[in-house]
Amino acid sequence: MRLFLLLILTSCLPAKTIRVATYNASLAQTGQGRLAALLRTGTHAPAKKIAGVIQILQPDVLLLNEFDYDANGTAATRMNDKFFNVSQNGRPAQDYPFRYVAVSNTGIHSGFDLDNNGTVDDSPGDISYGGDAYGFGEFPGKYAMAVFSKFPIDPVALRTFEEVLWKDMPENLIPPGFYSTEEQEVFRLSSKSHWDVPIQVHGTTFHFLVSHPTPPVFDGAEDRNGRRNHDEIRLWADYLTPGAADYLGGGLASGNRFVIAGDQNADPTRGDSVNAAINQLLHHSRVDASFVPERTGDRTESNKFDTSTFRLRVDYVLPSQEGFHILDGAVFWPTGSQDGAALVTGSDHRPVYLDLKLVPLLDEAVGDVSVTYENENSVIKWKTKSEVSYRLEKSIDLETDLWLPLNGLVVDIQGDRAEAVLPSPNETEFYRIVSYYE
């Protein structure tokens, strides 16, 4: 009896691609509502520079850090309509019809003396007030963030974690003795927030996991900000680890695409972060950190991975191992006469982007596979997914990993079912279904 083995694999054939970017734009202002007001006329010079950069990069999905929050989303709407979607010096306008903003913990007063300076300052507008807020900010919403997308956002599946308490994270790094029991009962883990924003792209979904952990400085010997930065980064690691996210109400199940993005305020080898905090993500089994974006423009061997003017790699775009293939990416840092060199100087960070190819996930592309034998033929049937194409390939020796396309074989698709009829083999043969995006 000859053997027949069916392998189900996904391919790396040409596919639909997206560009995903993160940018700490340093657009935070001095008062609540001021950013929205400054963006009203479309003439605000710093915002025009940011828009010019985005029109050069043309990302499909973008996170802006340090973009002040307002309850109506007015600032984000004006940023899109009056800056991104208006040509800056002849550059192509970019329209992001799908946007997401939400409450940030920055500047939301706790009612406690969280910085232990002896005063509970509940009057917005100064550093002392910011020190007693859940996340540092002289007024509610300062240093917040916004997501801009050319693809729809799924509001039903969207999740935010700004109210998760730090004490509820198992084995947290809360500095011993610094916060009272009463303070720990209200103190939130996220200095801004953590969002899981599902983006619907080409008939499938990826989860845009965005955040902006506190910098691991501006504290004392207790290292409260360094410890918090570590645990804010850890939140995403827990979210991706089976059984580790009960305190979040559950994590992101395997078989989901995701991209982690944001200013993480942590370098893997330098700086003040605790226990190389970012390595919790860079070394996570579900994260593809194999591609390290490098600076464009003038650079040296020692600074080629930096994303900030303070000589650290702190801004990241990290895709999932499943569902994506990294094509390219960079830290956009033009110098000299290069296009954009005069635009990026408004922030102490530089935008980071990746070009990602969508690769069909196995369970979304092929399901309910069956093999039957009819009239000396083998009949393979499976459930299909719209927008995915299929072909069969054959091998007679798996050790060589040589697969030959069955060009004359017809894959008959009716509705959401596919069928292929294979003649009875003359020798031991192996077949695989290859799924791909056209």
Contact 382, 418 (CB under 8 A): yes
CATH assignment of 366-437? 2.60.40
* pLDDT score of 6: 53
- What are the tens digits of pLDDT across the range 66-123? 999 999 999 999 999 999 999 999 999 999 999 999 999 999 999 999 999 999 999 9
- What are the tens digits of pLDDT across the range 172-203? 999 999 999 999 999 999 999 999 999 999 88
Give domain 17-106+141-362's CATH number out of 3.60.10.10, 3.40.50.300, 3.30.70.100, 3.30.2310.20. 3.60.10.10
Contact 262, 145 (CB under 8 A): yes
- DSSP for 190-243 reads -SS-EEEEEEEETTEEEEEEEE-PPPS-SS-TT-HHHHHHHHHHHHHHHHTSTT
H-helix segments, 352-424 = 362-365
Does the pLDDT value for residue 345 go beyond 50? yes
Quickly state the pLDDT bin for 405 (edges 50, 70, 90): confident
Strand partners, 436: 389
Which residue in the block uniquely carries the two structure tokens 């300062």? 142
Residues 43-58: what's their mean pLDDT?
Answer: 98
* pLDDT score of 374: 82
pLDDT: is 429 or 248 the higher one?
248
pLDDT: is 437 or 37 the higher one?
37
* pLDDT score of 377: 81
List C-alpha distances in Å: 143 to 67, 120, 263, 338, 426.
6, 21, 11, 30, 68
Share of the chain above pLDDT 70, in %: 95
Q: Give the number of residues written for the chain.
A: 438
pTM score, whole prediction = 0.88
- What are the tens digits of pLDDT across the range 284-324? 999 999 999 999 999 999 999 999 999 999 999 999 999 99
Cα–Cα dist 167/413, whole Å: 53
Does the pLDDT value for residue 252 go beyond 70? yes
Residues 6+ positions from 4 with CB-CB distance below 8 Å: 371, 378, 425, 429, 431
Residues of the chain with CATH 3.60.10.10: 17-106+141-362
Residues of the chain with CATH 2.60.40: 366-437
Quickly state the pLDDT bin for 30 (edges 50, 70, 90): very high
Residues 10-34: what's their mean pLDDT?
Answer: 85
Residues 368-381: what's their mean pLDDT?
Answer: 84
Residues 343-369: what's their mean pLDDT?
Answer: 89
Does the pLDDT value for residue 239 go beyond 60? yes
Share of the chain above pLDDT 90, in %: 78
Quickly state the pLDDT bin for 403 (edges 50, 70, 90): confident
What mean pLDDT, rounded, does the chain reach?
93
* pLDDT score of 1: 38
* pLDDT score of 236: 98
